[in-house]
Amino acid sequence: MRIGVLALQGDVVEHVGALERAGARTLEVRTPDDLAAVDALVVPGGESTTVIRLLERFGLTEPIKGRVRDGMPFWGTCMGLIVAAHDVADLEQPTLDLIDVTVRRNAFGRQVDSAEVPLAIPALGERPFPAIFIRAPWIERTGPGVEVLAELGGHGVMVREGYVLGTSFHPELTGDERVHAYFLHMAAVGARITR
Query: Which is catalytic among the residues 15, 86, 170, 180?
Result: 170
**Known catalytic residue at 147:** no
Query: Which is catalytic among the residues 14, 161, 172, 177?
Result: 172
**Known catalytic residue at 172:** yes
**Known catalytic residue at 155:** no
Is 20 exposed, middle or buried (CB count within 10 Å of its CB: 0-12, 13-18, 19+)? middle
- Cβ atoms of 46 and 9 within 8 Å: the answer is yes
CA distances from 75 to 15, 83, 172 (A): 11, 11, 12
- Cβ atoms of 111 and 166 within 8 Å: the answer is no
CA distances from 60 to 8, 72, 117, 121, 139 (A): 11, 14, 34, 32, 25
Is 112 exposed, middle or buried (CB count within 10 Å of its CB: 0-12, 13-18, 19+)? exposed
Query: Which is catalytic among the residues 15, 78, 161, 180?
Result: 78
The closest of 192, 159, 175 to 77, measured between CA atoms, is 159
Residues recognised as catalytic:
78, 170, 172
